[in-house]
Structure 1
Amino acid sequence: MASGKMPVVCHNDRQQRHARLCMATLSQRRREAAMMHGKVLVIGGGIGGLSTAIALRNVGLDVTVVERNHDLHSSVYGVGIIQPINALRALDAIGCAEACMTVGFPATAWGSMYDVDGKFLHSMPGARIAGSDLPPLNGLTRPQLHEILTSRADDVGVDIRYSTSFERLEDDGDVVLVRYADGTTEEADLVVGADGVRSKVRRFVLDAELQPRYIGQSAFRVNIPREPEIDRIILQEGPHGMAGFVPIGPDLAYLFYNAQMDRSDRPDDADLAEVLKQHLAPFGGLTGRVRDAHIKDPAAVVLRPEESLIAPGPWHRGRVVLLGDAVHAITPHMGQGAAQAIEDGVVLADCLSKHEDLEAAFSEYLDRRFDRCKLIVDTSLAIGEWEMGRLDDFDNVAATNHVMEVMAQPI
């Protein structure tokens, strides 16, 4: 330094200093969050509950998850799951995206659409996030996703308790007393209701009469060997419903079909394969080939009703807050149900880390989530209405592209 010259700071040095500063800031925010909000109880060990628990632990909160089912797989329903780019971004924030893409199928485009005979109509490339190399889509099996989330939750120190059901929540303003079905009790500073579309927590926050409504469609799904052309979502528009395919691994995909039916008309389990084949009878192309080769075992076919709900705000009362299907049940037409639940958890954790006052944190949480979730709920519902012939002038492609562009924006 005797020469009087200023020291030269290399790019790597600046990066390291910035990284140390960011880590110090994050550590401080974690300590502050832990002091401000104490113990958090997450009710529900599904995708939304586990993602939220991880995000809350990442900002320093003491988190316990209680799940009424007896193990990590007993709460997993369905065959595979779509992870749009915004889901991958949220999963990346909690350290799970890479593991999902490693076992799944990262696609280079969102999808392509064909007519009932298998003639190509148009491509849907999907959205990209500026500055990110995440793909427009990843697909994987639901058990794989559950294992990844459970392992990550365990790694970061989340306490997960299975076979645990609650009966009542009693919020006295300073703490929430949780009464369990076995007669035991527990106190928590904050309770998160992530217990799904039939949420029991919801009645302690919102109007007890608020329930999702069945839209008139049910979704058939069945795993199949992945054909080479299933390298993105493949859609075939039929005369009475939409068939489609999603890649969920190097050698695995699933077929889905959205069938219009009264809820009371659900077929017997033993008849599911035959009824699905009847629905797929008009199709040629890929759907016809898969129908004839692979739709045989009724035990392999999953049929779930499609339900819709967007709860009015606020999504909290006192020290109890809701997320996921408990406040925004989303039909599967855009593959955004799980994505929005994961985003809920990431945003809720961020809001709690920034605000000492719970009301301020919950207010920001709702502000950042409501319009985004409502767009998904409404658009998914409109696609279902269009598939059932009730919205003749609806532009399915334009609506889908609009939502994907909005979802690529920051949360």
Structure 2
Amino acid sequence: MSRGTVLVVGGGIGGLSTAVALREAGYDVDVVELHEDLHSSVYGVGIIQPVNALRALDAIGCAEACLGVGYATTAWGQVHDVAGNLVREMPGARIAGSELPPMNGLARPQLHRILTERARGAGVTIEYAKTFTELVNGPGGVDVTYTDGTSGRVDFVVGADGVYSKVRPYVLAEDLTPVYIGQSAFRLNIPRIPEIDRIILQHGPTGMAGFVPIGPEMAYFFFNTVWEEGQRLEQNRMDHVLRELLAPFGGLAGRVRDEFVTDPSAIVFRPEEWLIAPAPWHRDRIVLIGDAVHAVTPHLGQGAAQAIEDGVVLAECLAAGSSPQEAFERYTERRYERCKLVVESSVAIGEWEIDPTGKEDFDHAGLTQHVLETMVQPF
């Protein structure tokens, strides 16, 4: 017997994970995704899955598949200088009693495929090229009007539609907008050089270069650099600009510059933004998850991890049998401080990367380790 009906707005990582968790908890779940298909909703190249993300994925039956197509590491990473010399090890953290690795990297399309297949296999309905035009929220349910002209009533709506969420105004009185940190990131898939067996970071005068293994034969390269807000960069100039920014680097970054930064169409360029919404994250029968309430810059690889955890916790709270109001309050209580730590720590690392002047005492690797050790605690 169904516990009720849920509409999840957004078919990204958080939305699909939440849909699976709610379906496993006994709810009938429909996902609507504005993009026209699975592939068009996938942004970026690769993704970092810290051990807490793997634990949450394991809870919805997806960790094994992710590990099967990704690259599991024996440690979190290393810090190198601009010339490529090892400066510091970053061991990462493990979950007591678990065999999950400190980190798994995989291609984003692979993750979306795994989550989509798991959702459909669990009985979730996914509709593409569709979203809502109006939500009428109330204590007994939510009346939804859709872009295809249909309408209906559901017991709950989950807003998993990202940092520019259209569901968020139905929950929060404050008009929130994400904060641009002052950095943007270049990303590019490259062959996995043998040395890339964990996250490798190189800090130089023009930004932070990084490498993440995402499969036996593939890695992705990223470069965080200062970028004026709103400044356009034409796609056909991506490779030229990136090579110029990487000019001071030796080591892995120098090799990538010389061998692999050749095709501008293969480079993804995105601004880095953050947001943390005040509690509560719900109103009546509508609740928010993921980037809609805690958008994270990529400096700790925790954005997707936190969204997946949101879905698992939300399903647990609703399945506990308390009233929807109590369930949503408990969900926010369990998630708020944890997500806030990730958001604020990521921003602090980004600000240090932008300008380390006067921040000689800032311990980038130490803060990373602190967050990772915090994240392996129960969520």
Pick the structure with greater CA Rg: 1
Whether 1:401 aligns to 2:365 is: no
Question: What corresponds to 1:156 in structure 2?
Answer: 122
CA-to-partner distance for each residue in 1:227-263, whole Å, 9 max, x for gaps? 0000000000101311010000000001100010112
CA-to-partner distance for each residue in 1:331-381, whole Å, 9 max, x for gaps? 000000000000000000000000330111011101110000000000000
- Among 374, 381, 385, the residue aligned to 2:347: 381
Partners in 1 of 2:159 and 2:224 — Cα distance? Answer: 29
Instruction: Indicate conservation of the 8 Å contact 1:194/1:322, yes or no.
Output: yes
Mean Cα deviation higher: 364-373 or 176-185: 176-185
How far off is 1:190 after superposition?
0.3
Mean Cα deviation higher: 218-227 or 169-178: 169-178
Partners in 1 of 2:173 and 2:300 — Cα distance? Answer: 28
SS in 2 for 1:143: helix
Partners in 2 of 1:136 and 1:122 — Cα distance? Answer: 17
**RMSD across aligned positions (CA):** 1.0
Runs (5+) with no aligned partner, structure 2: none
CA-to-partner distance for each residue in 1:265-311, whole Å, 9 max, x for gaps? 23111101111111111000111011100001000000010001000
Question: What corresponds to 1:410 in structure 2?
Answer: 378
Question: What corresponds to 1:42 in structure 2?
Answer: 8
Instruction: Indicate conservation of the 8 Å contact 1:219/1:303, yes or no.
Output: yes
Please give the residue correspondences for 1:122-161 in structure 2 after superposition, counting only pairs within 5 Å: 122-161=88-127
Please give the residue correspondences for 1:266-285 in structure 2 after superposition, counting only pairs within 5 Å: 266-285=232-251
Percent of residue pairs bearing the same amino acid type: 63
Partners in 2 of 1:353 and 1:374 — Cα distance? Answer: 25
**Which 4+ runs in 1 deviate beyond 2 A?**
none
Question: Aligned pair count?
Answer: 377
Partners in 2 of 1:366 and 1:208 — Cα distance? Answer: 17
Whether 1:70 aligns to 2:41 is: no
Whether 1:323 aligns to 2:289 is: yes
CA-to-partner distance for each residue in 1:34-89, whole Å, 9 max, x for gaps? 33xx1000000000000000000111111110111111111001000000000000
Q: TM-score, normalised by structure 1?
A: 0.90
Whether 1:212 aligns to 2:181 is: no
Partners in 1 of 2:20 and 2:175 — Cα distance? Answer: 31
Question: What corresponds to 2:207 in structure 1?
Answer: 241
Whether 1:298 aligns to 2:269 is: no
Q: TM-score, normalised by structure 2?
A: 0.98
How far off is 1:208 after superposition?
5.0
Please give the residue correspondences for 1:301-312 in structure 2 after superposition, counting only pairs within 5 Å: 301-312=267-278
Instruction: Indicate conservation of the 8 Å contact 2:206/2:246, yes or no.
Output: no
Runs (5+) with no aligned partner, structure 1: 1-30
Question: What corresponds to 1:20 in structure 2?
Answer: none
Question: What corresponds to 1:170 in structure 2?
Answer: 136
Whether 1:189 aligns to 2:158 is: no
- Among 31, 50, 53, the residue aligned to 1:84: 50
Letter in 1 for 2:372: M
